[in-house]
Amino acid sequence: MARKPKTPRWLEAARRRKEPVPEGSRADWLARALGRAGVLPRAEAEQAIQEGRVELDGRVERDPFVPVHAGSAVRVEGQPRSLEARTLALMFHKPAGVVVAGHDPEGIGTVFERLRAVLPPELRGYEWYAVGRLDRDTTGLLLFTNEERLVAHATSPETHVSKRYVTEVEGQPSQEALRRLREGVGLDDGPTRPAGARLLAPSRVELVLTEGRHHQVKRMLAAVGHPVRTLHREAVGEVTLDVPEGTCRLLTDAEVRQGLDFGGPA
């Protein structure tokens, strides 16, 4: 049975208040719009709203999920703030050990904590969404964006945005093993798409995937008899990791449009 689509929280708020749904400009809710525009990260925005420090169209607003659009007049701490936002993306060099989650029950840390520690001041007001996931022990390129549509674009199997990995494996893969990877491997959730596969060293394999299933690289290599020892992501689309471990940089507009093939607002 198909799951019923979830009603957006801003739309629920509009219905509760019996207000018309904004038309024309992109509809959103107040706390998320503040995070997208770089005014306040969403958790801080929700707190500021609930504490009465945010005005919307001339009145104090205490509902973080009240519907807004780009033309809404917003003041934070009495200062006018625009909800206009362009699409931003940044690369982060993920170290091993940290998780791509909001909380780490093991106490090692999350990528969001590591990212915020190295963000320049002008980027700290944004709400940053991770573009996909990397396992705790996987290192390398992890993209973040303030635009959820970019997340959907880069992670959807329909868009075929490639991801390039370098992995150290057990044993020395044969040309037959590489051929199987290139043609697609049968996994318990179905056959994989054909992948780019080449040997960089006797036990080092480069894989290029255009889909992103759970633990896919590890499962593909295990399926051809070469379990993964280490895994590192080098590139997403045409964007290649070029910053030291634990650091980040903002992508250029060209990298977003051409490197990630994203045609959204930039």
Q: Which residues are catalytic?
A: 135
CA 156 to chain centre: 12
Buried b / exposed e along 127-148 (16+ C-beta atoms within 10 A): bbbbbeebbeebbbbbbbbbbe
Radius of gyration over alpha carbons of the chain, in Å? 21
User: Around 8, how many Cα atoms within 13 Å sit in the side-chain half-sphere?
Assistant: 14
**C-alpha dihedral over 128, 131, 134, 140, to 10 degrees?**
-80
**AA letter at 127:** E
Task: Tell me the helix, strand and coil percentages in the chain, rounded to 5.
Answer: 25, 25, 50
Query: Which residues, other chains included, contact 30 with Cβ-Cβ below 8 Å and sequence gap of 6+?
Result: 45, 49, 54, 56, 61, 63, 64, 65, 66, 67, 68, 74
Distance CA 39, CA 111 (A): 21
Distance CA 59, CA 128 (A): 28
The two tokens of residue 194 are 């054909």
